Amino acid sequence: MRATLALGIPLIGSHLAQILIQTTDVVMLGWYGVEELAGTVLATQVYFLVLLIGSGFASAVMPLVAKTYASGDGVAMRQTVRTGAWIALLYALFALIPFIFLEPILLALGQKPELAAVAGEFMSIAQWGIIPGSLAFVLRSVFSAVARPRVVLLAVLSGAYLNGFLNYLLIFGEWGFPEMGVRGCAIASVAATCLMLVIYVAYIFSIKELRDLRLFHRIHLVDFPDLREVFQLGWPISLYMLAEVGMFTVSALLIGAFGTLALATHGIVLQIVTIFFMIPMGLSNAATVRAASFWGAGQSQELVRATMSALMIALAVGVIVTLLYLAFPSVMIPWFLSKDETRVDEIIKMGTWLLVIAAFFQVVDSVQLVTAALLRGLKDTRVPMVYAILSFWVVGIPSGYLLAFRYGYGPAGVWWGLVIGLSVACVLLGTRLYSLLKFYGKPENQELQY
């Protein structure tokens, strides 16, 4: 457990700092105007959905690099990093297409014209952050795999600081800068992402151990066997993330049908939930690295112990966050609103109820996230992908839709659908992990068979 926390705490810090960028956007836009906040919620949900789908390939790099690093195979490690970077770049270029047409897409999905216009205005600038953001995800996976998570924390904190500073200048037009509203927020986000990528690259060249690995050697070449391995491992991870994050994105679209106030409230509560979600997210990265390292070294008993430690920590985190939500549901929401907002009481009332519902899925969400990461470290990605699609899209989204529209629970019904989907995923993934560990714990089984 100490080893898991030693690797996981800096990663948790980096994820919290990463979400600080998005949180700063939500807070400052909430101060600027509820309509601007609601429209940007739509845009950022789509942006991060697309970005996280691409991060599945970066996540595939993590266990592969951890395994080759543990076995001392520098050439294979370099090939994996190079391949991951090429896949990330190609994906980012492809991802620009839905961003360019975001406004008409939202209109076709039934969103209000004024909100779709704000989302399109924001995305017209924010879309260019997908390229440095995708490449930065690959390097973050490398640093996590070689147990150097502190540089990730440093880079993300630097990006968060720059984002907040530029938001202050450009959203509100301070210090003589033009008041740009959501466009200023988008410029700040892109600048912060570029800064993080620059810090990652500079760090690699400044540290002798990493410089000696020659990670960028012959970067222009593509190794097709390695490309196939990264792609085969990465696309199920991407679909898994699409299924999970897509469920939350669809929830925003469903709640948009209930009006601007409901969507803004959903955005605030979702931001609070996402902040605490970064804790098990950091733990999940540590779990992937440790599982892949012990698997690469052939240490099955250490693998089992590392697995149980990660799950116990995830369970404890989920319980603590659940208690916080139940004890202080109405305290955090006003932080995201201007004192001059006339609808504060209505937003707090609705948001408090949504946050109480969110408390019901904290434990299962934390455990299912770490469980999926452990399976990823064992290169088991396709079965979890199927489980995610079943849990989130066959169970979660339809449940939320029926509860919200058929049975009249409104936005709360959508959130109850999230609870149901995440609970089903936790049970299915836990069963899968148990069966694999039971198999792998036998001395005669040196490698997992899928």
Question: pLDDT tens digit string along 204-255?
Answer: 888 777 777 676 766 666 666 666 767 777 778 778 877 877 788 788 778 8
CA–CA dist 419, 357 (Å, integer)? 8
Asked if residue 275 lies in contact with residue 15, where contact means CB atoms within 8 angstroms, the answer is no
pLDDT band at 189 (very low <50, low <70, confident <90, very high): confident
pTM equals 0.69
| CA-CA-CA-CA torsion sign (329, 393, 110, 54) | positive
d(CA 434, CA 414): 31
Encode pLDDT of 294-326 as tens digits.
766 666 777 788 888 888 988 898 899 888 888
pLDDT at 94 over 70: yes
Q: How far is CA 204 from the centre of its chain?
A: 24
Backbone phi, psi, residue 341, to 5°: -70, 125
User: CB-hemisphere CA count at 13 Å for 77?
Assistant: 24
Q: Could you please report the per-residue DSSP string of 340-403? A: T-TTHHHHHHHHHHHHHHHHTTHHHHHHHHHHHHHHHHTT--HHHHHHHIIIIIIIIHHHHHII
> For the chain, how big is the Rg over CA atoms in Å?
21
